[in-house]
Amino acid sequence: PDFKPGNAGPEVLIEILPGETGSEIGAKLETFGVVKSSLAFFRVAVADERSGRIAPGEHSVQTRLSAQEALNQLLDPARIPNLIVIRDGERLTEIQESITRFGLSLSEVREAFANQLAPSGFESKSLEGFLYPAQYSFNKGVSADQIVRAMIDKFVSTTKDLSWKSKDFSPHDLLTIASLVQTEGRPDDFGNVARVIYNRIEKGMPLQFDSTVHYALNRRGEIRVSIADTKINHPYNTFIYRGLPPGPIGSPTRAAIEATLNPPVGDWLYFVTVTPKETRFTSSYEEFLTWKAEYKRNFKAGLFE
């Protein structure tokens, strides 16, 4: 059974606890009269990958909603007081800035990051890559340590069933690859981008990813790098340093991590995003150059604006 859409009642405040499952959330919604059936909500949540992004914390939602309406309202940032949204691929420094909006100083936030350890099994002195992209809602008066811990816990709970075993790469290496996949590709291309990374490393080729140079220079929003940029002496510059950068360049999603752990078979060594919606993969350098010229024409024509 399910309430019919368009017959919503008055709003109630629902608190979602960290780690609550879809069935537990559904039961809570049914208890408060938000949905008619916890099972109806559970079925909708299981079928919609966005459900994994429901933020722990308080949500202001209407009563007498259909299961789909209830999920949509739980995901609506406008209905979540004290919200922090971590975007896919967001960097640690950007996340620190977001946390300061809770009235915390940047020094407090940085101290909290220094206090927290990376999840067990990952040899890392930095939390870059471990702050899972999602919506987070916190009560007023929350500490910086609690906020950072919640983001790490979300990473752990979201990836706990994945196997980080690889004969050639450490778990931290794999997370680094996943962050490159997240930044370089669209979700449909994640697997192919991961395969290109593995193939180039196996052949001893530098990755030559613009995204790592942008990270080194702490820049956002620019598509291209200059020739001078590619020559900067920085460990994250994959134009001059072979292999992987020292660590992740942002927070990867589960989809990017899964693509990294289970990439498709292929011999691709190059890829070019010729239009905002089309990325092509090849093992031929000549074909790569042809597509790169096509990208440049499209860029000049304003297709990427």
Residue 252: inside a domain: yes
Q: pLDDT-derived band of residue 66, with 50, 70 and 90 as boundaries?
A: very high
**Mean local confidence (pLDDT), 174-191:** 97
Predicted confidence band of residue 40 (pLDDT cuts 50, 70, 90): very high
Which residues touch 63 (CB under 8 Å, ≥6 apart)?
A: 8, 9, 10, 11, 12, 32, 33, 34
Give the structural domain span for 95. Answer: 89-159
pLDDT of residue 56: 85
Task: Determine the Cα angle at 263 with ends 91 and 249, to 5°.
Answer: 15
**Could you give the CA distance from residue 286 to residue 123 in angstroms, rounded to a whole number?**
40
Backbone angles phi, psi at 274, to 5 degrees: -80, -30
Q: Tell me the C-alpha distance between 287 and 260, whole Å.
A: 25
| Same domain as 51, residue 104 | no
Domain termination residue (choose one: 134, 159, 184): 159
142 Cβ neighbours under 8 A, 6+ residues apart? 82, 102
Q: Are 240 and 229 in contact (CB under 8 A)?
A: no
DSSP string of 264-293, one letter each residue: PP----EEEEEETTEEEEES-HHHHHHHHH
In a domain, 140, yes or no: yes
Of 73, 77, 66, which Cα lies nearest the Cα of 6?
Answer: 66
Q: For residue 291, is it within any domain?
A: yes
pLDDT band for position 58 (cuts 50, 70, 90): confident
Whole-prediction pTM value? 0.83
Structural domains counted in the chain: 3
Q: What is the pLDDT of residues 87-115, one digit of tens each?
A: 999 999 999 999 998 889 999 999 999 99
Distance CA 165, CA 170 (A): 7
Q: Which residue from 269, 277, 276, 274 is spatially nearest to 293, judged by alpha carbons?
A: 274
Same domain, yes or no: 175 and 292: yes
- CA separation for the pair 227, 230 (Å, rounded): 5
pLDDT tens digits along 198-236: 999 999 999 999 999 999 999 987 777 899 999 999 999
Q: Do 179 and 256 fall into the same domain?
A: yes
